Structure 1
Amino acid sequence: MTENDSKIAYFRIELSNASRVTRELIRATVENAPWRFSDEDKEKIIRYFEHTFDITQTIGAALKSVDFKPWLEERKQQGIDFFYWNRLKRYFLEKGVLPPNVVATLDTDTDEILDYSGNPEAEEPWRRRGMVMGHVQAGKTTNYAALICKAADAGYKIIILLAGITNILRQQTQERLDESFIGKKSVFHAIAQEPLSIINYADRRRFPAYGTSRDRDFLKAAASTYGVSLSSLNEPIIFVTKKNKTTLGRLGDWLKEQNLTNKINDPLLLIDDEADNASINTDADPNRVTAINGAIRRILALFNRSTYIGYTATPFANIFIDPESEHEMLEDDLFPRNFIKALEAPSNYAGATRIFQENGDLRQPMVRVINDFNDILPLKHKRNHNVSILPETLYEAVRAFLLTRGIRVLRGDAKQHCSMMINVSRFNDVQDLIYGLVYQYLDLLKNSIVVNSGLGVHAVHDVNMRKLKSTYDKEFANCGFSFLEILNVLPFSVSSITVRTVNMRGGVLDYTQHKDTGLHVIAIGGLALSRGLTLEGLTVSYILRNASASDTLMQMARWFGYRNRYEDLCRLWLPEQSLDHYEFITDAIEELRSEINRMKRLHLTPIDYGLRVRHDPAAIRITAANKMRTATEMVVAQDYSGRHLEGYKLYNDNTVNQRNLIQVQKLIEKLGKTEEFKGKTRLWKGSKNEGIDASIIFQFLQAFKFPEELNDLGPITGDRSLFLDYFSDRLNADLAKWDVAIPLPDNRGTECNDVIPGEKLYIRSRTAGTVDNGIYKITSKNRVANPGDEKIGLDQKEIESAEAEIEAGNCARGYCAYSLQRKKPLLLIHIFYGGLKNNEARETLITGPIVSLSFCLPATQVPPVERRYQVNKVYRDQLLEMEREQDDDEQIPDEVDYV
């Protein structure tokens, strides 16, 4: 422990006695310390505690089944010895692992999850099935470690944790559970296991048993050799095992042998930390997931009393989207019918909403768009693709990483881990080529730094130092240190940086082995860097991956997490299409998260939520991608309730556009008199404001042509689209009467006389379009509407109600809140002059005004109807492109024998 660490420990104890910690109290406590130290050290410690006590975390919402009966509070009153939890809580607080507010929320959240689980003292048979939904890299492990401690205290005897699909991830998780629950290094072969620091936070010593170790997954022979049996246990036993059918089969066999004639009566807690491994099936064998789930069900069936909890980082969990039908989903033994609990992230979490949403506070300072990769490293390339140089943006990213390392040294973090991630190919052979080029460039920079760092302002006479200075000016001029100050420490800072490939051929990030000095590494790989693996001290990420694989992209987002003291240094380079896709999937996930809050207010159940996720367009796309390997047919029940559905793609064909424009003119003739809505916008609400008849709108939409590439509005089979089928189910219900509007600019736009006969309109312009494979994408986002178009036709009271819902966090997307206020759907006719981005090489073939549509849809009372579609080639190819986005290093052997 350093001198500063000792001082921080002293102040932490002092501040823990206060009922409320303010900035004034922090400063007074440090100023009145019983020893003398420098003003600089005082300010560092004050800033540390101000940051720690500023962090907040709210309690997440939950849905529960109607038969829920709480039991935990009564058991607490009777007396539960919370030995394992109190020890962990003291460790978190006194060692400063987590801020006090976060520990308080963790305590409340895990109490709630435990209460939803079965009461281990209830003797009658029971089973509980639940799900906990967190965020990527936001502390799922911490949550289930706390839950495991409490479950053990409450009386659960057998705990099984399924920890990923690789040996490395299983070992990482075993180490985390050693540190938080077991209390010593879990090894079978040592005479005396090495105790860990957590045991110092209890007044006595107790240790659970363990059936797996740091170096071994479960083996029946090892269990027998080291005397592991259920009948001899005085403490709970924990197994941390891979999600692997062979390993789970062995464990199931061993458990069966513990009671050959009857079911096991000891209560079981089984936690599945791979419940969100649902996007692109990571194995070429589509039956693998079925086999693993079968092994899990077999283990659960061995017990009279069992709780199964799936932990997921996204709503797209297997159990919602894999089953062939709604009935099959609800009948699955792993379906979370008893509860679904959402976890909120702490305020210092750097996650998708802060990085990818348009108003995210980290988007501008962190995100850098790559546009120089296509000739060197196209997103689609083959295994034998040759790479002889790197994109200039990747060279700049490497320079940025070296600078972040120097800045962190100046900030006092010289011995902290510091990592850069490069993920630009799914092929190991290409990764090896990238490794060689990055290694060569790093060596060149290191040599230039050693030779020139002592030259002060004259160092920039060297071309590499000039580029380094240019990167500093562009990225870190406001970091608090001058370039010369950073230059002075760079020889030391960069000397320890290494380059490693991490894939199934080998390569590890052994942070534990470098805990005293810090590991400083540029890691190159594919999904082996992603699935649950934490890149410690990650400051710079460079990613070039296919934008269509939405859930795969989220798994690659290792830059999510906690970046205390260096959040301002983090940078992410990625292509614009990937940025757009991240923005889309972030919105989709946040919308589904907000549904839990809405459903809780309505007293709905986990079954309602499972159906909502299953019907979500993003979930349908992921599900279909999984199944398109072997099928051309898919079953879909689409739900567009409360959505703003936008036609952001059109054919790059002037003839098709003219025909669509003619259909718009025919529709306008039928609509009759128009009125203005707040400015120049034209609005039709029908006779006596009762709305336009659905038959008129439906006939119009049948004639309006969207491309097949627009999945919701374009044809999926024949002339049928998902939206038209959804519409047809509600022709005489929620969508029977419509409002229609043409949104126009408030200020004077571009003159157009071609839409409404006898009227001169001034229309919008769209100048950031792209063209690809005959498809014109109207903007760089998946949008055609302007912000605020969703309000058209609503009165002030409805607008205020929607804004209150947004303010309360009940609707992640603003348009959802406005759509849910509607009594009638709104058809928006978007008329504009189009243009392309300045760097767009292709050209648009559409002349004159362009027309597209979007739809603001109210909540529906009609449940989604499952339909079977023979999927057309375009839709199938798009889904197959998602499925192909697998890494070589994802081809994980079914079983690896241990020696």
Structure 2
Amino acid sequence: MNTVATKINTDGLIYRRLVLHNHYSPEQQMCIERTVNKLLQHSTSADRPGMLLGRIQSGKTRTFIGVAALGFDNHYDMTIVLTKGTRALSQQTYERLNKEFRSLREDDVVQVFDIMTLPDNLINYELDQKLIFVVKKEMNNLQRLRAALFETYPQLAEKRILIIDDEADFASFGFTKTKAEIIEINRIAGHIDDLRKNLKQVDFLQVTATPYSLYLQPEAYTFRHSDRTFKPIRPAFTELVPVGKGYIGGEYYFKESEEDRSLASFLYEPIALDELVVLKKEDRRRFKIEQALSSQKIHSLRQAIVNFMVGGIIRRWQDEKQNKRPRKYSFIIHTEQAKASHGWQEAVILSLKAQLVSALDQEPLILDSLVRQAYENIRRSLKRVNGDVPKYEEVKYHVYYAIGHDHLMITKVNSENDMNQLLDETGELRLRAPLNIFIGGQILDRGITIGNLIGFYYGRNPRRFQQDTVLQHSRMFGYRPLEDLAVTRFYTTLEIYEVMKTIHEFDTALRNAFERGGQEGGVVFIQKDASNHIIPCSPNKLILSTTTTLKPFKRLLPVGFQTGYKTYIAKTIQALDRSILQHRVDQPFLLDVTEATRIIETIKTTFDDEAAKPWSAQTFISTMEYLATLGKGKEAGKVWCIVKTDRQMARVRKNGRWEDAPDTPRGKDSELTLAREVAQYIPALILLRQNGEEDKGWRDTPFWWPVLVTPRHTPTTIFAES
């Protein structure tokens, strides 16, 4: 049983020294102290753990190290840190702990061990010190831990132990996984639980950036037809890791990036799906490697690498100008898990590198064009932050020098056998050159820290995306100087970007609901059944690329679509005109949801899915129908409808992105303002009649563009398309 702590000791040797050497902020110290206090007050276990909830690359490790230190000053004798099952992450964690506790290790106060290299001849002088074991969540490691605790050093099993499960989502039940993954996860979870049950005094703290993996675990996967709210199992307590100034996460990548005036608007660079196919494996019918410098087949990859070189060199130039040591920079290419693909990508980039060297003398015009294009790309974003920008000729000189003197390092990271030579003394990927490109797969997505990352070329298949996997892919999240952000670029296909944006919205909605305390009422998960009725669904069934997250005043609309030709859709548009314009359209009016559904279904028939991005009218309609059921009185089963005509919106913005805001966002009489005024408990459907001029990217025919605005009182809802 846990003893209730009335007041924890925050002035002990271990915690005091750690705080002194690591400059924890007051907010971080408060989080650490609250966590230890709650661990001492609550009964925790693997089934009902304490929870330390942070964001990707936000300082979770730093925080749980503080928890371990403070715990040692408050009755804990030993900490077991469980890491994800990769040697890289385990070594990174071990090196980090060694570094943080170095002075205490030297003074024989705390000792840190990797369980796989734990000596079998520790004496009582060592065993009486505070101990930290780093253990991978992998069967050999866990068996070695069991032997240490119950056979080699049985006195350890009598001590008070804190188990910290780092990146807890890996061993949680989570969402849809393969049968092999489920078997392995269950084995690991079972082994951890058996260990816990045989220890005399043990507390359990899970650390994660993916709260759904625990908060949304169901007690049972059966639902009554009438019960829409999913009731999750929650941890014994939760502490939120504070996010400091300068943290960059999904909000920057997937929300601010769509605001034209934001620095983030320069971040995303779309790539063609065909380019990912070229990079999957060698096929000389598609691409000849000797043409890497000029072939359009790898246009985005080539420009991404030159952008990276120019951005990194400008940042190094800025460091030198400020009398700082020039930093080294990194770029990640992560498109496939298969090692064969990594080998092919390495060959392509090495060939490109060699051709850049040859171009110094043989094709200077091509090289100059590539560098100048990259310079203009980077210069625009640097001007946004009023950063110092060297003249083009100076940048060109340094880029040419870097090419000619081999300052660009290409490293393939796809084998755990490589980790010893790839990681530095802190456990991060070693930056060996001024400019470093890392090519890899799963090892890069399991929490490995990569310093000074200013380029990310990403291409994993979104149809297989799961939430915990995708967020851990986001190595570009973390604390970033504004100057680095100005030269940072993110390359992926539009489809992948949209899926990642969807997953960011999912994560944000759940996190916000949790932080507001809304998780006490559950989260609504719905889908349509075979008979077209909205029913609850189990979160463990979700494929997140097919979900839509609903929150107050969210907009749903088709984007990237194309209309049919005038000869095919003119009569349908006329019929829509009669149906819609028969109402008094000079102000918002109530429309029966069944009529609204017929209108949307008809609008869908005027789009050409073969010519552009298909639109899922099913999700739009299902969401509208579900939200209409939330209305009461005269609003029951209705939607508010707002109609505007004679619109001339272009299909594509000047920056090359699809137009996604046909509704006027500002002004007293703007349709979005009106929608937010009336949509309190039921949604607002905005119907915009566009003129569809050819010079705007359309097919010279009018059409209707629908926008659905969710109501102010929308509960946190996840709609699964299938």
Band the TM-score falls in, shorter-chain normalisation? 0.7 to 0.9
Q: Distance in 2 between matches of 1:837 and 1:590?
A: 38
- 1:425 is the counterpart of 2:319: no
Report the CA distance shift for 1:699/1:559 in structure 2 as closer, same or farther (over 3 A): same
Contact 1:417 1:520 in 2 (8 A): yes
Secondary structure of residue in 1 paired with 2:168: coil
- 1:826 is the counterpart of 2:687: no
Report the CA distance shift for 1:851/1:466 in structure 2 as closer, same or farther (over 3 A): closer
- 1:598 is the counterpart of 2:516: yes
Question: What residue is the counterpart of 1:392 in the other structure?
Answer: 299
Matches within 5 A, 1:289-688: 289-303=185-199, 305-317=201-213, 320=216, 325=221, 335-357=233-255, 358-359=258-259, 361-370=262-271, 373-378=272-277, 387-389=287-289, 390=292, 391-410=298-317, 411-412=319-320, 416-446=327-357, 463-465=366-368, 467-476=370-379, 479-486=388-395, 491=401, 495-504=406-415, 507-508=418-419, 509-512=422-425, 520-548=435-463, 549=465, 551=467, 552-564=469-481, 566-599=484-517, 607-608=520-521, 611-612=522-523, 623-625=540-542, 640=550, 642=552, 644=554, 646-648=556-558, 662=575, 674=584, 676=586, 682-685=587-590
TM-superposed CA distance for 1:395, in Å, is 1.9
CA RMSD of aligned residues (A): 5.0
Q: Distance in 2 between matches of 1:344 and 1:439?
A: 42
Letter matched to residue 511 of structure 1: D
Question: What residue is the counterpart of 1:146 in the other structure?
Answer: 66
CA offsets 1:170-222 (integer angstroms, 9 cap, x no match): 111111111113x2xxxxxxxxxxxxxx459xxx9243244x42xxxx35xx6
Report the CA distance shift for 1:471/1:766 in structure 2 as closer, same or farther (over 3 A): closer
Report the CA distance shift for 1:404/1:742 in structure 2 as closer, same or farther (over 3 A): closer
CA offsets 1:116-175 (integer angstroms, 9 cap, x no match): 32349x9x9999623233222222211111121112222222322221221111111111
Q: Distance in 2 between matches of 1:847 and 1:171?
A: 61
Contact 1:384 1:430 in 2 (8 A): no
Q: Distance in 2 between matches of 1:159 and 1:511?
A: 25
Letter matched to residue 346 of structure 1: G
TM-superposed CA distance for 1:398, in Å, is 2.1
Secondary structure of residue in 1 paired with 2:73: helix
Q: Distance in 1 between matches of 2:143 and 2:694?
A: 57
Q: Distance in 1 between matches of 2:571 and 2:38?
A: 59
Q: Distance in 2 between matches of 1:87 and 1:616?
A: 53
Report the CA distance shift for 1:732/1:475 in structure 2 as closer, same or farther (over 3 A): closer
Contact 1:764 1:833 in 2 (8 A): yes
Q: Distance in 2 between matches of 1:313 and 1:837?
A: 46
Question: What residue is the counterpart of 2:533 in the other structure?
Answer: none
Greater Cα shift, 588-597 or 260-269: 260-269
Q: Distance in 1 between matches of 2:308 and 2:600?
A: 51
Contact 2:15 2:69 in 1 (8 A): yes
Question: What residue is the counterpart of 1:208 in the other structure?
Answer: 110
- Given the alignment, which residue of 658, 661, 682 partners 1:780? 658
Q: Distance in 2 between matches of 1:89 and 1:115?
A: 17
Letter matched to residue 75 of structure 1: K
Contact 1:265 1:304 in 2 (8 A): yes
Report the CA distance shift for 1:161/1:126 in structure 2 as closer, same or farther (over 3 A): closer
- Given the alignment, which residue of 47, 72, 83 partners 2:13? 83
Q: Distance in 1 between matches of 2:615 and 2:538?
A: 9
TM-superposed CA distance for 1:341, in Å, is 2.9
- 1:791 is the counterpart of 2:673: yes
Contact 1:267 1:306 in 2 (8 A): yes
Letter matched to residue 353 of structure 2: L
Q: Distance in 1 between matches of 2:274 and 2:203?
A: 53
Question: What residue is the counterpart of 2:532 in the other structure?
Answer: none
Identity %: 16
Contact 2:28 2:241 in 1 (8 A): no
Report the CA distance shift for 1:362/1:446 in structure 2 as closer, same or farther (over 3 A): same
Question: What residue is the counterpart of 2:646 in the other structure?
Answer: 762
Q: How many residues align?
A: 660
Letter matched to residue 19 of structure 2: K
Secondary structure of residue in 2 paired with 1:572: strand
Letter matched to residue 308 of structure 2: F
Report the CA distance shift for 1:657/1:339 in structure 2 as closer, same or farther (over 3 A): farther
- 1:852 is the counterpart of 2:706: yes
TM-superposed CA distance for 1:523, in Å, is 0.9
Secondary structure of residue in 2 paired with 1:159: strand
Matches within 5 A, 1:38-187: 74-76=6-8, 79=9, 81-93=11-23, 103-119=25-41, 129-181=49-101, 183=102
Secondary structure of residue in 1 paired with 2:7: helix
CA offsets 1:844-892 (integer angstroms, 9 cap, x no match): 7x9542353524234268x98x99xxx9xxx66xxxxxxxxxxxxxxxx
Contact 1:271 1:310 in 2 (8 A): yes
Report the CA distance shift for 1:347/1:652 in structure 2 as closer, same or farther (over 3 A): same
Q: Distance in 1 between matches of 2:246 and 2:695?
A: 36
Question: What residue is the counterpart of 2:531 in the other structure?
Answer: none
Q: Which structure: larger Rg?
A: 1
Letter matched to residue 239 of structure 2: K
Q: Distance in 2 between matches of 1:307 and 1:836?
A: 66
Q: Distance in 2 between matches of 1:380 and 1:620?
A: 38
Letter matched to residue 531 of structure 1: R
Report the CA distance shift for 1:236/1:539 in structure 2 as closer, same or farther (over 3 A): same
Report the CA distance shift for 1:402/1:261 in structure 2 as closer, same or farther (over 3 A): closer
CA offsets 1:592-629 (integer angstroms, 9 cap, x no match): 33334432xxxx5x544xx3286799x9898435699x
Secondary structure of residue in 1 paired with 2:40: coil
Secondary structure of residue in 1 paired with 2:76: coil
TM-superposed CA distance for 1:268, in Å, is 2.7
TM-superposed CA distance for 1:784, in Å, is 6.4
Structure 1: gaps of 5 or more residues:
1-68, 94-101, 184-197, 453-459, 629-633, 677-681, 686-691, 745-760, 770-778, 796-817, 877-899
Report the CA distance shift for 1:780/1:407 in structure 2 as closer, same or farther (over 3 A): closer
Report the CA distance shift for 1:238/1:416 in structure 2 as closer, same or farther (over 3 A): same
TM-superposed CA distance for 1:436, in Å, is 1.3
Contact 2:628 2:638 in 1 (8 A): no
Contact 1:742 1:828 in 2 (8 A): yes
Contact 2:651 2:659 in 1 (8 A): no
TM-score for both structures, normalised by structure 1: 0.62
Secondary structure of residue in 1 paired with 2:475: coil
Q: Distance in 1 between matches of 2:479 and 2:155?
A: 50
Greater Cα shift, 126-135 or 105-114: 126-135
TM-superposed CA distance for 1:572, in Å, is 2.5
Letter matched to residue 487 of structure 2: L
TM-superposed CA distance for 1:346, in Å, is 1.9
TM-superposed CA distance for 1:461, in Å, is 5.2
Contact 1:208 1:237 in 2 (8 A): yes
TM-superposed CA distance for 1:224, in Å, is 7.0
Letter matched to residue 832 of structure 1: Q
TM-superposed CA distance for 1:443, in Å, is 3.1
Contact 1:270 1:309 in 2 (8 A): yes
Secondary structure of residue in 1 paired with 2:523: helix
- Given the alignment, which residue of 248, 268, 280 partners 2:162? 268
Secondary structure of residue in 2 paired with 1:377: helix
Q: Distance in 2 between matches of 1:496 and 1:621?
A: 51
Q: Distance in 2 between matches of 1:531 and 1:836?
A: 47
Letter matched to residue 641 of structure 2: A
Contact 1:269 1:306 in 2 (8 A): yes
Contact 2:109 2:129 in 1 (8 A): yes
Report the CA distance shift for 1:521/1:275 in structure 2 as closer, same or farther (over 3 A): same
Structure 2: gaps of 5 or more residues:
293-297, 383-387, 529-535
